[in-house]
Amino acid sequence: DTAVSQTPKYLVTQMGNDKSIKCEQNLGHDTMYWYKQDSKKFLKIMFSYNNKELIINETVPNRFSPKSPDKAHLNLHINSLELGDSAVYFCASSQGQPGANVLTFGAGSRLTVL
């Protein structure tokens, strides 16, 4: 059973379109994250939710909107896609208790904007 699963794995779309990536974790963790990995492999945090509440919101264009319907799900919606949004987006989860800050990542969703 996949611990952190993301869909879709690949996404190819035109500039200006709107797209969503979904993430689900079955680990019982109470914190979920979105990370962006660019073409140079640099991993940068975008958002973090703890028990459905937005905790971290890094400097990300407001075209990106995360939504957490419950603590096992964190979705990412992107409006008006731009070429620079092409990247691999990773969902991750962790247990928010002190001393348990191990992140479990999904396999990633590769977004290509043409």
Partner 1 sequence: QQQVKQSPQSLIVQKGGISIINCAYENTAFDYFPWYQQFPGKGPALLIAIRPDVSEKKEGRFTISFNKSAKQFSLHIMDSQPGDSATYFCAASKRGAGSYQLTFGKGTKLSVIP
Scanning 19-27, 33-41, 63-71, 77-85 for contacts with partner 1 by CB under 8 A, the matching segment is 33-41
Round to whole Å and give the CA distance between 33 and 49: 6
- Rounded CA-CA distance 39/90 in Å is 13
Q: Which is nearer to partner 1, 51 or 65 (CB)?
A: 51
Q: Which of 15, 42, 61, 114 binds partner 1 (CB under 8 A)?
A: 42
β-sheet bridge partners, residue 24: 5, 73
Sites for partner 1 among residues 43-102 (CB under 8 A): 43-45, 48, 50-51, 53, 55-56, 90, 92, 94, 96, 98, 101-102
Let me know: does 65 contact 47? Beta carbons within 8 Å: no
Q: Per CB under 8 A, does 12 bind partner 1?
A: no
- Closest by Cα among 43, 19, 22, 47 to 33: 47
Q: Evaluate whether 66 touches 74 at the Cβ level (below 8 Å).
A: yes
106 makes contact with partner 1 (CB under 8 A): yes
Residues of this chain that bind partner 1 (CB under 8 A) = 4, 31, 33, 40-45, 48, 50-51, 53, 55-56, 90, 92, 94, 96, 98, 101-108
